[in-house]
């Protein structure tokens, strides 16, 4: 399975690359539209601010490329910021428009006694029928590091939820679009299982 990781200048892609390779994928990193469009599956990683992410895609003329990938129904996995960019908009540093593949918003955690960013291992309440979670147990811990969370307009787009003051969408699935708010590449065996499932099971 040939997986293309989109390199748009936000964060280090090395760990995601190594993790995908370790579950048997043939991985290339690219910002070249033709290479990206030739991928059997595509991964949009990323850490950092929403605005920087959209700017990074725009500067490389990759927004149209992602639109084509979504229209062709090529399986697309967003990780952390990558998943957030799939949404309609984010309120991080002022309202910013996203890719709009999934209706809904990216919101800051409410101000309360909980620490922000959420840093560390939290549990997933999964929809076990989802191919992304094949072979996984409910309540598995995965590693999060984020200050904003996604709220899909259609609640059924959320296929796993995690409780951190709010029960937010830790993972989404809509058509050929998949997203994880956590870092599977940093979540030891559970994370590798999820990546393996994306590579082998998700259509």
User: What is the x/- site pattern for other proteins, positions 164-203, by CB under 8 A?
Assistant: x------------------x-xxxxx-xx-----------
Q: Is 65 helix (H, G, I), strand (E, B) or coil?
A: helix
Quote the crossing angle between the two packed helices 63-72 and 50-59, to the nearest 10°: 90
Pick between residue 101 and residue 148 the one whose CB is nearest to other proteins: 148
Q: What's the min distance (Å) between Cβ of 160 and other proteins?
A: 15
Q: Do residues 177 and 152 touch, judged by C-beta distance below 8 A?
A: no
By CB under 8 A, name the one of 163, 167, 175, 200 that touches other proteins. Answer: 163
Q: What's the min distance (Å) between Cβ of 22 and other proteins?
A: 8
Give the whole-angstrom CA distance, residue 184 versus residue 93.
26
Pick between residue 1 and residue 116 the one whose CB is nearest to other proteins: 116
The helix or strand, by DSSP H or E, that contains position 34, with its residue range, turns out to be helix 33-37
By CB under 8 A, name the one of 19, 77, 79, 180 that touches other proteins. Answer: 19
Give the whole-angstrom CA distance, residue 77 versus residue 39.
12
Alpha helix positions (H), 93-203: 188-200
At 174, list the tokens.
């809509």
User: What is the x/- site pattern for other proteins, positions 77-116, by CB under 8 A?
Assistant: --------------------------------------xx
For position 48 contacting other proteins by CB under 8 A, the verdict is yes
Give the whole-angstrom CA distance, residue 87 versus residue 120.
24
Q: Is 105 helix (H, G, I), strand (E, B) or coil?
A: strand
Q: What's the min distance (Å) between Cβ of 60 and other proteins?
A: 19
For position 28 contacting other proteins by CB under 8 A, the verdict is no
* CB-CB neighbours of 167 under 10 Å: 12
Give the whole-angstrom CA distance, residue 138 versus residue 153.
24
Q: What's the min distance (Å) between Cβ of 35 and other proteins?
A: 21
Q: What's the min distance (Å) between Cβ of 24 and other proteins?
A: 14
Interface residue list for other proteins (CB under 8 A): 11-12, 14-15, 18-19, 22, 47-49, 115-123, 141, 143-147, 163-164, 183, 185-189, 191-192
């Amino acid at each position: 399975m040939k997986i293309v990781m989109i390199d748009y200048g936000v964060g280090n892609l090395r760990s995601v690359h190594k993790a995908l390779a370790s579950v048997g994928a043939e991985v290339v990193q690219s910002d070249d539209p033709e290479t990206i469009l030739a991928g059997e599956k595509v991964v949009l990683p990323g850490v950092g601010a929403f605005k920087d992410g959209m700017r990074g895609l725009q500067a490389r003329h990759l927004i149209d490329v992602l639109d084509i990938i979504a229209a062709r129904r090529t399986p697309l996995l967003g990780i952390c910021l990558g998943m957030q960019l799939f949404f309609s908009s984010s309120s991080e540093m002022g309202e910013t428009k996203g890719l709009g593949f999934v209706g809904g918003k990216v919101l800051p955690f409410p101000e309360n006694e909980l620490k922000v960013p959420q840093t560390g291992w939290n549990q997933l309440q999964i929809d076990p029928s989802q191919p992304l979670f094949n072979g996984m147990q409910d309540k598995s811990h995965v590693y999060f590091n984020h200050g904003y969370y996604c709220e899909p307009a259609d609640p059924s787009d959320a296929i796993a939820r995690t409780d951190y003051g709010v029960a937010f969408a830790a993972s989404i699935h809509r058509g050929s679009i998949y997203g994880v708010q956590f870092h599977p590449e940093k979540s030891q065996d559970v994370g590798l299982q999820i990546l393996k499932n994306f590579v082998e099971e998700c259509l």
